Amino acid sequence: MTETSPPGPLDRPAPTRAYRWIVLAAMSVAVYGSYYAFDYIGPLAPLLSHQLHFTDSEIGLLQAVYSLPNVVAMLVAGVVIDRIGTKKSMAIFSVLVFTGLAITAMSPRLAIMASGRLLVGSGAEALALASNVAVARWFWRDELSLGFGLRSSVMRLGSLSAQVSPTWAPGVYTYWQGPLLMGVGFGGFCLVGSALYWALDTRGERRFALGHTAGEHTIALKEVFQFNRSFWFIAALCVTFYGCIFPFQTFGQKFLIESRNLSPQTASLLVGMEPLFSLIGMPIFGYLADRFGRRALFMMFGSLLILPVFLMLGYTSIPPVIPMAMMGVAFALVPAVMWPALVYVVDRSRLGLANGMLDTIQQIGLVGINLLIGWSNDHWLASATNPAGYHASMWLFTGIAVLAVLCAVALRVVETGPHAHGLETITTRVKPDVA
């Protein structure tokens, strides 16, 4: 049976505010576990290097292989979500995450770890994608950006839990397998959250008029070529902005330890500032976008914030807490506005496909950038005895940040022109029917 709103949805009431927040909490529990699974390689990198003698290229591969299947899988996942609905999709993807985490923890062999990471990536990104559509399904009438922001805050809490895990679970970081086994435990959140969401959504669709429906029409992959210019500029911003954030998180702790002579605990706290700022700031920026619009302007400002960060880290004696704070604010601002912006620039019945295409483009970039940064560090012999070897990767990150700014500016130009879709003007309680 497909997940659909009952007949005559306009005759049914909108979801109550309390019920919407309970549903949001359930889906947030699921993605909390998946984001822990994404980010726990960064804190583990020093152990992989010292105990298993992995090179930076091999560590980069473990993170790149997470993204590799999603180059294709996210398009498929988007179509699947539009066809079978969010609750079934989230359940399937949660099982993939948990299974992949278990495989990753089984063996010190790179091939087995990589196969587990590949499975984790296939499920985790698709789970986040399904939750994007689920938020739009429940919040399309009101508080859309705030709903995205609060859900994303819990996602960032998962990232933060992983990034600072050496500080709250130092005993686990004595042997390489400990953090991986702990990750399996966090994968249980995916299963629990998806089960709760299934129960709540099933009950809610009998009582309320919900925004997104599944199974009403055939979705064709060729429809991706029908998306408008605003969508493609958002996609380009997505790949360039996240191309600065996530690959830096992969190598950030190792970089700070070896180039700034910091302890592992201090380095983990500094890198953890990104998800910390994000989980605090995303609901705030989401509320501001709902209240005032100006979404393209927000994205442009956030992109500008990361532009000087990497050269500050690599070439100055400025305390690293300052550039890391700037990156954290940007990491809160841009995603809080970017993902819900899709609801305004594409038809709601194509949200799964649109989110899938956006994630596909993002994953292509993350595969290439993770491998590129790992290669650069190895090629220039970046290490504690040669911290200047990290300069090349800092320049690479800066170049990608420049591209992000250009993409944000282009989006702003379109959304202030005659072919705008309301990113700058639509505010709270205005129904987003723009296709």
Q: Which domains does the chain have, with CATH numbers?
A: 13-415 (1.20.1250.20)
pTM of the model: 0.72
CA distance 19 to 145: 17
- Calculate the average pLDDT of the chain: 86
Q: What value does the mean pLDDT take over residues 392-408?
A: 96
CA distance 22 to 400: 39
pLDDT in tens, 372-384: 998 999 999 888 8
CA distance 260 to 416: 43
Q: What value does the mean pLDDT take over residues 285-306?
A: 92
Q: In this predicted model, which residue has the larger pLDDT, 141 or 270?
A: 270
Q: In this predicted model, which residue has the larger pLDDT, 7 or 324?
A: 324
CA distance 87 to 351: 15
pLDDT of residue 40: 87
Residue 359 confidence class, pLDDT cut points 50, 70, 90: confident
Can you tell me whether residue 386 is helix, strand or coil? strand
pLDDT of residue 238: 94
pLDDT of residue 147: 85
CA distance 152 to 22: 15
Supply 135's token pair.
């938020």
Q: In this predicted model, which residue has the larger pLDDT, 173 or 427?
A: 173
pLDDT of residue 225: 66
Evaluate whether 179 touches 43 at the Cβ level (below 8 Å).
yes
pLDDT in tens, 70-110: 777 777 887 788 788 889 999 999 999 999 999 999 999 99
Residue 217 confidence class, pLDDT cut points 50, 70, 90: very low
Is residue 215's pLDDT more than 70? Answer: no
Supply 237's token pair.
């911003």
Evaluate whether 91 touches 30 at the Cβ level (below 8 Å).
no
Place of tokens 């947030």: 28
CA distance 307 to 298: 15
